[in-house]
Structure 1
Amino acid sequence: MSIRSATPALAAALLFGASTPLAKTLVGDVAPLMLAGLLYLGSGLGLCLLLALRQWWRGAGLLQGLGIPRAELPWLLGAIVFGGVLGPALLMLGLAQTSGASAALLLNVEAVLTAVIAWLVFKENADRQIVLGMVVIVLGGVLLSWEPGGGSFSGGALLILGACLCWAIDNNLTRKVSSNDAMLVAGLKGLLAGLGNTVIAWASGMAWPSPAAVAASLVVGFFGYGLSLSLFVVALRTLGTARTGAYFSVAPLFGVLISMALWPELPGPLFWMAAALMALGVWLHVRERHEHEHTHAPLAHSHRHRHDEHHQHTHSFAWDGVQPHSHFHRHEVLTHKHPHYPDIHHQHAHRH
């Protein structure tokens, strides 16, 4: 695996990691559940505006070429319910009963649950090097989150673990729609989840924040949730769920680095140990080389592509020769051997 392949996932982690200290500055002005709703709303509204600008730039109609196949809508709706509604709600309830140190440690479970579901339920392949890389990254996250004397777990720990499980399910369900336009998928998730959380917060009697706090929340949500999720979807498409989840779990490291820039403070030894472990885990993933003879089953879908060895097809429309381009196309049976990852074209069984 090249570092170029990992770039979308690492960039998603950077943006999401940056959103944590930035959102922290808003917590005193906005109730937690209301803030979650506004962050998701900023994600959805910003991406929808970006989509409209992109369509205009291309000279296409507002909805031309956009859409989620009907067969994939249940996956998307499931991802929105688990990741955009249940996950944040369980987290907010858990945070009210759990210390910050314990909560930070528990949130590292998301990457593990994401990988376990991908490997056991969706049969995504993983060799020893990938599993070892995941373990090392998670250990780094535990060290990064650890605060000696931070308090013991409370009953809220189960709620936070439930939130991690919801987000792990969300990650795996989103993989099922990752061949679609990444901005469209992320935008729909942001809009629907944002509306849901904001309505719940408002109906619960939470005060509406000041216009300045709303604007700041929307901006942080656009970058930290919207653009981050778009890149996450691209990474799911090219790397698979477990590997993307592993890269994304380094987000707290970026968050700490940005916090240090905002509030200068010399990090302790645990930080450097955590950074070294996470760097080692990323290195183990980047140096992966998975190669064997495999057979592609017939597959029909739509996504941006070039006419590489996996995309040798004719067009039923007048094609201007521009690549990459996006249209509905069919893959016939193909057997060959080359280095690959569990991307949208390589979801096959393994003999070993």
Structure 2
Amino acid sequence: MKIKEIVLYVISMPLKDPFYTHLQTVSNREGIIVEVIDEEGYKGYGEAVAFSTPWYTEETVQTCLHMLTDILIPIIKKTKISHPEEVSHLFAPIRRNQMAKASIETAIWDLYGKQQGKSLASLLGDHNSTIPAGAVVASSSISGAINQIEHFIELGYERIKIKINPPTDIEWISEIRKHFPELPLMADANSAYTLQDMDRLKALDEFQLLMIEQPFAHDDFLEHAKLQSELKTPLCLDESIHSISDVRKAIELNSCGVINIKIGRVGGLQNAKEIYELCLKHHIKVWVGGMIEFGVSKAHNIALASLPGFQIPGDIASSSRYWEEDIITPEIQIENGKIIVPNGPGIGYQMNEKRLNKVLIDKRSFPMGKI
């Protein structure tokens, strides 16, 4: 793969509606789009999905920009790459910084698919032609949450996730269940609880949730195992999973029954696929999580979620869920609760350069030169 140039686009775009969690309210989304260009003019795209502040993980837009500019792109510049599978091994000596790593690794996967004339989904393996869509409700009020759910059901979304935290969790879920008794519903805690909340979490068993996601802190594998042994509802780990080593810990300790795989959080598509395969081997259910992304990252998520073991609808919504206008064309759409998996080369979407330039706040170009 003869890479000629890498370009970083730092962008900022307002959400249509604020996204509320107990940790942060996101009204404006910053991110980095990575463009990798080869000598033939093919362009591959990735996205750094870190937030502006370190409320989800320790990474931020600025730390990703530093890692890409000063560490990762120089490694790519001095290395000959023949296949995108090599990139995660190339970056392995660099500790953490998974979202920065994933942004360039996924761009190289997209470039490779375009060079080969194959879709990203087909490069990953046997895949489905559509995936089920799931939506996240993040409202500041229970009435707002119910209105969002009604809207998502009308649009055909097949699974709803609600953000929870004490002391309103039981009240909110009880009210939602009154309105939607059969709704496939899961609850995401974003580490809002501790073991002292054991009884409160056990009370959620009565609501027949698909799962409770990340109730405890990201490094609380033992605490999650203690809770899972007391719950009927499966626990799902999200922030805890940064590597395949984390998955092995969770399996060994019986910390969960489900794992949310986010490409950015685990350092790229290759790592995500290896985690997926390990989970299936050990009968751990998996689904693809979201990060309030722009269309580039969502396109990579669609390809990953098309693998047959992803049977739980992921956090993969239409472009219009968050944006007045996305940066890809065509925009991602929901049809009868499904998203069509593109069969065009690479991610199967084109960059909307006019929109990209409109939301651009910084651009950096890195010629590769001769290896």
Higher helix share: 1
With CA pairs under 8 Å and 6+ residues apart, which has the higher RCO, 1 or 2?
1
Same fold (TM over 0.5): no
Question: How does the TM-score come out when normalised to structure 1?
Answer: 0.23
Higher strand share: 2
Question: How does the TM-score come out when normalised to structure 2?
Answer: 0.22
